Structure 1
Amino acid sequence: MAKAASKNAKIKDTKAAADAKNWTKVIRTVRSEKTGAYTFKESIVHKDKIKEFLG
């Protein structure tokens, strides 16, 4: 039988979940210089840096 999680472990998980809300998966199209075809670049970016990533 598995041990129950300690109270401290539950608090750490809650803090991690709250911090995770500040991050966003951003997908940007990038055009190849050689072929002209589009590819996609995926990154996980902090919500304050999204405009810099897309700019």
Structure 2
Amino acid sequence: MAKKVVATLKKQGGVTYAKVIKAVKSDKTGAYTFREEMIPSTEVNASLKK
């Protein structure tokens, strides 16, 4: 099931947010884990380039 973004984050005239999900590989086991974060939509490209 998909998770929904909390409605209180969407205010008129406020900052819009985006949910970014990254796959991160563990150095010890080699397994992938997923890291989720809510960031302002203006910083999405900068976050994905890291």
The reply to whether TM is greater than 0.5 is: yes
Question: For residue 23 of structure 1, what is the aligned residue in structure 2?
Answer: 17
Question: For residue 32 of structure 1, what is the aligned residue in structure 2?
Answer: 26
Ranges in structure 2 where 5+ consecutive residues have no aligned partner: 1-9
Question: For residue 54 of structure 1, what is the aligned residue in structure 2?
Answer: 48
Counterpart residue type for residue 48 of structure 1: T
CA distance in 2, matches of 1:34, 1:52: 27
Question: For residue 45 of structure 1, what is the aligned residue in structure 2?
Answer: 39
Question: For residue 6 of structure 2, what is the aligned residue in structure 1?
Answer: none
CA distance in 2, matches of 1:38, 1:30: 5
Relative to total residues, which structure has the larger helix share, 1 or 2? 1
Q: Percent identity?
A: 36
- The list of structure 1 runs, each at least 4 consecutive aligned residues, that deviate by more than 4 angstroms after superposition, is none
State the Cα distance separating 1:17 from its structure 2 match: 1.3
Report the TM-score, using the length of structure 2 for normalisation. 0.66
Report the TM-score, using the length of structure 1 for normalisation. 0.61
